[in-house]
Amino acid sequence: MPPGGIEISRKHGPTRGSGATELREFDTTDEWTAQRQEYTNRQAEMRRRIGEAPAAGDDPHFIHSDAYDERQRAELDLYDEFQNDLIGPGGWTNINEAHYSLIDRAIEENRGRRILITFGGGHKYWFLDRLRARDDVTVLDLAPYLR
């Protein structure tokens, strides 16, 4: 936690179990055949563009890099485009908006304090886009604090 600051985190939040039935339907029913094929084709194109190696890993230096964020954006924005509305509250944009409302509230309630935000690494690019657009927030690079 930052000195004199607060921490915001969410572990195993509302996405766990949300939308499982809808995702199974997307993956298996004839109703979604055309969208599933387009999704599969676009996933393959995205993987050719960014490479096949997994984006995750436990290296905090990689997780806090632009390369990681761009890879997550490529993978998760595609997922979001095809499945956010289908999944509903647990969809990518929907869950990020819910998480971001917690961050926004903490910022409003803690003006002038440092805030450490801890969510899954995949959410980071989504939050940073919004935080960097604000004129009342200064985003600090985490790299100097990593050992």
The answer to whether 80 and 92 have CB atoms below 8 angstroms apart is yes
Number of residues assigned to the chain: 147
Q: Considering the domain boundaries, does residue 1 fall inside one?
A: no
pLDDT in tens, the chain (147 residues): 444 455 444 443 434 445 778 888 888 888 888 988 998 888 888 888 877 665 556 788 888 888 889 888 988 898 888 888 888 888 899 999 999 999 999 999 999 999 999 998 889 999 999 999 999 999 998 888 887
DSSP 66-98: HHHHHHHHHHHHHHHHHHHHHHGGGSHHHHHHH
SS3 130: helix
Q: Considering the domain boundaries, does residue 115 fall inside one?
A: yes
The answer to whether 81 and 75 have CB atoms below 8 angstroms apart is no
Q: Considering the domain boundaries, does residue 52 fall inside one?
A: yes
Residue 97: closest CA among 67, 71, 129: 129
Q: Which domain holds residue 18?
A: 6-145
Q: Considering the domain boundaries, does residue 41 fall inside one?
A: yes
